[in-house]
Amino acid sequence: MPVDITRYEGAPDHSGALFNGGEGQPRLRLVARPHKSLTPGGFVWFIGATAVLLALPLLAAFGSPVLWGLLPFVGGAIWAIWWGLKRSWRDMDLHEELLLWDDHVRLTHVAPRKADQVWEANPYWVQVRLIPQGGRVPDYVTLKGEGREVEIGAFLAAEERVELYRLLLREMRPG
């Protein structure tokens, strides 16, 4: 699951540590990101292979003035593919961060070229819902509290959303 989970625990009472978690540190931090199938190394290989395959027909025109007429179009095609993949990567730089304290929960949805959307509530009153059908996506997960219902993890796969739902149910009401 493309979800990073970090649990923060205070020091045991017998450790002698002066700082034991404190109000500022959440007990759980969850960051969900969409899956990216193309790695940076894969990007280099794809652009290189595309350039080679587009250059193969140019070998027939090598040494003739026709080459100079075709070259801008081949270069433009390679540039367009490069730009499109980079733009797609930037558009997928979205993520959701959930911070959970014992008495407070904050969900921040970060999307490229948009202002962050923040939702906060008391976890005791938050309802975690799984909508199997009829939501934006199958197995739609929402958090309801403070008079609002917000989605979480809509960009994850259906199985990952079910796993996220179970995790949220466990963590919202510990013990």
Alpha helices in the chain (DSSP H): 40-55, 66-91, 158-172
Could you read off the pLDDT of 146-155 as tens digits, one per residue?
Answer: 899 999 998 8
This prediction has a pTM of 0.71
Sheet with strand 28-32: strands edge to edge: 3-7, 28-32, 95-100, 105-110, 117-121
Taking the alpha carbons at both ends of the chain, their separation in whole angstroms is: 25
- pLDDT value for 150: 94
- pLDDT value for 148: 93
Could you read off the pLDDT of 25-61 as tens digits, one per residue?
Answer: 898 999 998 887 888 899 999 999 999 999 898 888 8
**Phi and psi based region of residue 91 (left: phi greater than 0; alpha: psi -120 to 50; beta: remaining):** alpha
Report the run of H or E that residue 32 belongs to, with start and end. Answer: strand 28-32
Positions in the chain short of pLDDT 50 = 18-22
